[in-house]
Chain A
Amino acid sequence: QKEVEQNSGPLSVPEGAIASLNCTYSDRGSQSFFWYRQYSGKSPELIMSIYSNGDKEDGRFTAQLNKASQYVSLLIRDSQPSDSATYLCAVRNTGNQFYFGTGTSLTVIP
């Protein structure tokens, strides 16, 4: 079982819609969760971090964490073509090790 799993997509949404990206993790004791955005040919860029159960909002982005279900999600409201990228979920586990998912490719269609 992989430490972090994501649907690889591709996920396509029309401009203005809500994009929903999902991630599950295996280490129940993990405490830190991150979403990175990676444009083609670029390095990962941090967009959200979340540490407590519930929702965390930052502009058009909302991260959701459910530790009981070992599930993290990222919602992007009012999706824009500039949001088209690969979104990486990362988890820091109880051993202080960071693990990344394989990423979900998002395309926002104008």
Chain B
Amino acid sequence: EAGVVQSPRYKIIEKKQPVAFWCNPISGHNTLYWYLQNLGQGPELLIRYENEEAVDDSQLPKDRFSAERLKGVDSTLKIQPAELGDSAVYLCASSLGWGNTDTQYFGPGTRLTVL
């Protein structure tokens, strides 16, 4: 079974430019998560989707970040405009979305460098 797929794996942009990340979750997983991970820190949730609905976006900086999951499968996270402080790894994870044993599985991540 394929795991969580993310692209691109690496992205280097200049500040004020836009950037987009794409995620394809594990087949059958209803819940999709976008995390940001800075060096030496644990993942921090940006947004959580249950099917098409964003159920937790309280930590998403909405002035510059946006996300969508139109058909309840793939998702895109966008930053516009990017700032120097956005340099980090952006992780996508997915889970079945139900039951006490619900477990997240991570994609390989996208390493963003803003110059």
Contacts and interface: CB of A to CB of B under 8 A. Distances in A.
A46 interface: yes
Interface residues of A, number: 23
Given A97-B45, A101-B42, A45 B100 contact: no
B42 A97 contact: no
A103 B108 contact: no
A97 B48 CA distance: 9
A98 interface: yes
B107 interface: yes
A63 B41 CA distance: 22
A62 interface: no
Given A102-B40, A102-B42, A51 B101 contact: yes
List of 4 A-B pairs having minimum Cβ-Cβ separation, nearest first:
A100-B42, A43-B106, A43-B109, A102-B42
